[in-house]
């Protein structure tokens, strides 16, 4: 039996289908994406897709369905199929899951292990910082936005640098911190973006 080729277009299509849908649809999407990632007898992944990354996305849909048991299982499987590496989006998803269950100490252990095992990845650090921000861990969010800034600057990722600078300003404001030089730079970026949008 010939295998079906799964591409970015397939992923985009199923993600669009899941927008604003309820738990039943989200669970079905999670199961479909998991099958794409784990059934090489039936599916062939395009070169741009990795099984671990797909399983993280399946976990996100399981989370939208309210099934944290499935989220935990899929994240564990995503890490297993990725060997010594970490799938895209894994660390942020793991932090969000742990925080939902009040497992801050375990979350910090996971983050320390992740940081020791990855190259500088500004986008992953940004995702991690956002996960702490939505969990109201603003000091940790600030720390990881600072790391994302440093890594983005070193990697020449100007677009991410600007986003991280603005996000850093946001979490510092939540902590009631006084404006510093980087906050002033972030405020300038916000003003430019508003002007470009015509606000």
Give me the domain span that covers residue 191. 120-199
Residue 86 three-state SS: coil
Question: Do residues 81 and 9 share a domain?
Answer: yes
Residue 57's pLDDT is: 96
Domain count, the chain: 2
What's the confidence (pLDDT) of residue 143?
97
Strand partners, 6: 45
Q: How far apart are CA 36 and CA 32, in angstroms?
A: 6
Would you say residue 126 lies in a domain?
A: yes
Whether residue 139 lies inside any domain: the answer is yes
Same domain, 160 and 83: no
Instruction: Encode pLDDT of 85-95 as tens digits.
Output: 889 899 999 99
- Average confidence score pLDDT of the chain: 93
Is residue 30 a contact partner of residue 65, using CB atoms and an 8 Å limit? Answer: yes
pLDDT tier, 117 (very low <50, low <70, confident <90, very high otherwise): confident
Which residue is associated with the tokens 């990354």? 53
Whole-number pLDDT of residue 21: 86
Coil, helix or strand at residue 4: strand
In this structure, is residue 72 part of a structural domain? yes
Cα three-residue angle 41-46-48, rounded to 5 degrees: 135
Band the pLDDT of 84: cuts 50, 70, 90: confident
Same domain, 73 and 134: no
Per-residue confidence (pLDDT) for residue 156, from 0 to 100? 87
Q: Are residues 83 and 129 in the same domain?
A: no
pTM of the full structure: 0.82
How far does CA 152 lie from the centroid of its chain? Answer: 16
Q: Is the pLDDT of residue 34 over 70?
A: yes
pLDDT at 196: 86
- Summarised one tens digit per residue, pLDDT across range 157-192 is 888 999 999 999 999 999 999 999 999 999 999 998
Apex 171 CA angle, 149 and 166, nearest 5: 50
CB of 94 within 8 A of CB of 107? yes
- What is the CB-side half-sphere exposure of residue 21 using CA atoms within 13 A? 18
* 57 inside domain: yes
State CA 116 to chain mean position distance: 18
Task: State whether 2 and 84 are in the same domain.
Answer: yes
In this predicted structure, the answer to whether residue 60 has a pLDDT above a threshold of 90 is yes
Does residue 96 form part of some domain?
A: no
Q: Are residues 137 and 82 in the same domain?
A: no
Phi, psi of 20 (to 5 degrees): 60, 25
Q: Is residue 49 within 8 Å of residue 55, measured between CB atoms?
A: no
pLDDT at 1: 63
Domain edge (last residue) among 70, 88, 106 = 88
Q: What is the pLDDT of residues 121-156, one digit of tens each?
A: 899 999 999 999 999 999 999 999 999 999 999 988
Answer whether residue 199 shows pLDDT above 90: no
Rounded Cα–Cα distance for residues 191 and 110 (Å): 37
Question: Does the pLDDT at position 5 exceed 90?
Answer: yes
Q: Of 16-20, 102-106, 107-111, 165-169, give the lowest mean pLDDT range.
A: 16-20
């Amino acid at each position: 039996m010939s295998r079906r080729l799964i591409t970015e277009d397939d992923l985009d299509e199923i993600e669009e289908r899941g927008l604003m849908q309820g738990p039943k649809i989200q669970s079905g999407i999670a199961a479909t994406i998991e099958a794409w990632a784990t059934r090489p007898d039936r599916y062939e992944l395009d070169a741009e897709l990795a099984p671990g990354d797909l399983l993280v996305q399946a976990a996100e849909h399981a989370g939208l369905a309210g099934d944290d048991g499935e989220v935990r299982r899929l994240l564990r499987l995503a890490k297993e199929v990725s060997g010594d590496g970490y799938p895209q989006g894994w660390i942020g998803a793991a932090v969000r899951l742990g925080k939902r269950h009040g497992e801050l100490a375990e979350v910090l252990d996971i983050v320390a292990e992740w940081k020791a095992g990855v190259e500088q990845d500004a986008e992953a650090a940004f995702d991690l910082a956002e996960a702490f921000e939505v969990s109201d861990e603003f000091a940790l969010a600030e720390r990881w936005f600072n790391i994302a800034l440093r890594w983005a600057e070193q990697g020449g990722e100007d677009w991410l640098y600007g986003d991280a600078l603005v996000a850093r300003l946001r979490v510092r404001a939540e902590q009631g911190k006084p404006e510093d030089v980087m906050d002033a730079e972030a405020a300038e970026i916000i003003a430019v973006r508003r002007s470009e949008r015509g606000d």
